[in-house]
Amino acid sequence: MPVSEPWQHYYQSQRLKLSYWTWGDHNKPPLVLVHGGRDHARNWDRVAEAFRDDYHVIACDLRGHGDSEWAKGSSYALVEHIPDLLALIDLVGGKAPVVAHSFGGAITLLAAGVFPEKFERIVEMEGMGARLEDQPPVSPESLREWVMKARAMEGQTPRVYPSFRMAADRMRDANKALTEEMADHLARWGSTAIDNGWVWKFDPWVRGRTPAELNAEEVEVFWANIACPVLHIVGETSHFKRSKFHEVPVDTFFKDSRTEVIRNAGHWMHHDQLDETVRVIRDFLGPPPSPRIAD
């Protein structure tokens, strides 16, 4: 898959050991990539290869995903990921453009609304409104339902795939546009072998939802506080309809933003239409920045 293998590193955030991968020269300006829910950093390999000549590309494994530690007792709410992302940005330079997909996009937009000085530009790929479309108001009934689901999860066990091939085929079931090569790559880095088969690396508890999550009206205030330009990318054939949020065009919620549609692409447009997705991102980021001067 990749032209060359990236380097893996680890950092600490909120007492967790978190993984990230890098491509290119560390003296070049950073470009941070944030994956979506139940995914992992190595899903960015082809995007990272496209930008490694111009940037020091950094792709993180979110807490509970990839090779990062699981957060025991955590509900993996949006706000819990903000310290992790900020710690990574501080580690690689203190300010950076960020490209983020799905749940990673929602995390990035929220973090940029709290710490706007940390973000140079944001490309969010179908992350606008993630986890917010169906968030019910908090009530005794909704809280009870959440508690019962949380307790039920304690008895769940990860699904075991008897062979690697079956795990890779599951990737193609989720996104039928994937090539066999890409499905194998995603499954290779997203699963781990156990005695009787293969299981996904992500913590099954990332599927949980907390009733204390920010609601749509609250999050709109954070979006309005983002200072940098924002590019929203949506897939033409995506099962999500994230060019709008509650029937309002997404650009309405930001000071400086625009939306691009990737034709013949679904939710994972960087897999479905790589070249066009890279072109749109590159046009938005602008000319390659000047290399840093080494100390």
Name the CATH superfamily housing domain 7-133+204-285. Answer: Alpha/Beta hydrolase fold, catalytic domain (3.40.50.1820)
Q: Which helix (H) or strand (E) holds 230?
A: strand 230-235
Q: Nearest Cα to 59, choosing from 43, 77, 81?
A: 43
For residues 211-247, one letter each, b for 16 or more C-beta atoms within 10 angstroms of the residue's C-beta and e for the rest, the string is bebbeeeebbebbeebebbbbbbbbeebebebbebee
Instruction: Per-residue pLDDT tens, the chain, 295 aa: give them.
Output: 556 799 999 999 999 999 999 999 999 999 999 999 999 999 999 999 999 999 999 999 999 999 999 999 888 999 999 999 999 999 999 999 999 999 999 999 999 999 999 999 999 999 998 887 666 778 888 888 888 988 998 888 899 999 999 999 999 999 999 999 999 999 999 999 999 999 999 999 998 777 778 888 889 999 999 999 999 999 999 999 899 998 999 999 999 999 999 999 999 999 999 999 999 999 999 997 776 555 4
CA-to-CA distance for 110 and 112, rounded, in angstroms? 5
What is the reported pTM? Answer: 0.96
